């Protein structure tokens, strides 16, 4: 099996070394493409050192912040034209062990697969398994009119079929990625993974979470340094996702309520993000 890894960095000096070391420890990994979005810390130097030592690593530096989806698309475009193996989309604050790569390589070779996620203390992250993001049922739930839940608990199986997975770890045939046209570049930071999953299912592609594979994910290391930028673009992403997939099925009043709810959430989310910086 031949595996290509696509990573987008931005101010990830504190995590990218461990991430790349973990990826390159697997002999199954043939290509590593790192796209940097205008980092102004040591990220560029760290990745450049890896690229100079290991021919599998190719570093693409951008002078502008491309965003996650556009960066991953660029990484995949940089792969050899003849590459037809497996693509691993990986966050730069993740560490995936060779045994975990081996485990994923033995699973369904036609599906889109995510993994369980744990923080540095081994605490499980519920965001590994997701429903489609539905805004109107979320609002209805506040008034006791819906039982909708965005996050899905583990059912105890090794491989659990779910509607959506986290973009922190996405394992798939590169042919699936290309069939979908990659990520929607209209998103900057948020919801592009959910969008990708909706479109994958529309093509009949199965989506699973490998519950027995728990990848270390530190979450939002670089994002904590720029809360306004991150929260603003997250909410723009929520708007785009809503308009593409749910808004078209709601009436005018419902759409107005949802859009108002999204932006009412913004100052609260921003305040929480600022507090996390302290």
Strands 86-90 and 169-173: antiparallel
Q: Which two tokens stand for residue 209?
A: 């979470």
For the chain, the maximum distance between any two Cα atoms, rounded to a whole number of angstroms, is 58
User: Nearest Cα to 6, choosing from 59, 51, 54, 43?
Assistant: 59
Top pLDDT among 25 and 269 is at 25
Q: What is the mean pLDDT of residues 90-101?
A: 98
Number of other CB atoms surrounding residue 18 within 10 Å? 15
Number of other CB atoms surrounding residue 155 within 10 Å? 11
Q: What is the mean pLDDT of residues 2-8?
A: 97
Q: Supply the pTM of this predicted model.
A: 0.94
Q: What angle do CA 202, 5, 59 make, to 5 degrees?
A: 125
pLDDT tens string 128-165: 999 999 999 999 998 999 999 999 999 999 999 999 99
Query: With respect to CATH, is domain 3-221 assigned 3.90.550.10?
Result: yes
Check residue 229 and give its pLDDT. Answer: 84
Q: Which two tokens stand for residue 235?
A: 């909410």
pLDDT tens string 218-261: 975 555 667 888 899 999 999 999 999 999 999 999 999 999 99
């Amino acid at each position: 099996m031949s595996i290509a890894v696509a990573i987008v960095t931005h101010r990830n000096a504190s995590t990218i070394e461990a991430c790349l070391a973990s990826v390159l420890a697997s002999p199954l990994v043939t290509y590593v493409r790192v796209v940097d979005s205008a980092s102004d810390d040591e990220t560029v130097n760290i990745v450049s050192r890896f690229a100079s030592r290991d021919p599998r690593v190719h570093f693409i530096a951008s002078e502008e912040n491309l965003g996650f989806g556009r960066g991953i698309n660029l990484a995949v475009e940089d792969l050899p034209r003849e590459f037809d193996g497996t693509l691993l989309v990986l966050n730069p604050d993740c560490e995936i062990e060779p045994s975990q790569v081996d485990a994923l390589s033995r699973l369904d070779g036609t599906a889109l697969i995510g993994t369980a996620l744990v923080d540095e203390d081994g605490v499980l992250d519920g965001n590994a398994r997701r429903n489609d993001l539905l805004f109107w049922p979320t609002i209805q739930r506040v008034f006791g009119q819906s039982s909708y839940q965005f996050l899905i608990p583990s059912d105890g199986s090794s491989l659990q079929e779910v509607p959506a997975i986290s973009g922190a770890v996405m394992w798939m045939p590169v042919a699936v990625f290309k069939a979908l046209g990659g990520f929607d570049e209209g998103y900057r930071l948020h919801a592009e993974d959910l969008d990708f999953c909706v479109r994958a299912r529309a093509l009949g592609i199965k989506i699973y979470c490998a519950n027995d594979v728990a990848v270390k994910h530190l979450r939002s290391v670089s994002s904590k340094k720029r809360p306004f930028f991150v929260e603003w673009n997250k909410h723009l992403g929520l708007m785009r996702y809503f308009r593409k997939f749910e808004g078209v099925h709601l009436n005018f009043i419902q759409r107005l309520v949802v859009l108002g709810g999204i932006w009412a959430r913004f100052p609260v989310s921003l305040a929480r993000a600022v507090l996390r910086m302290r």
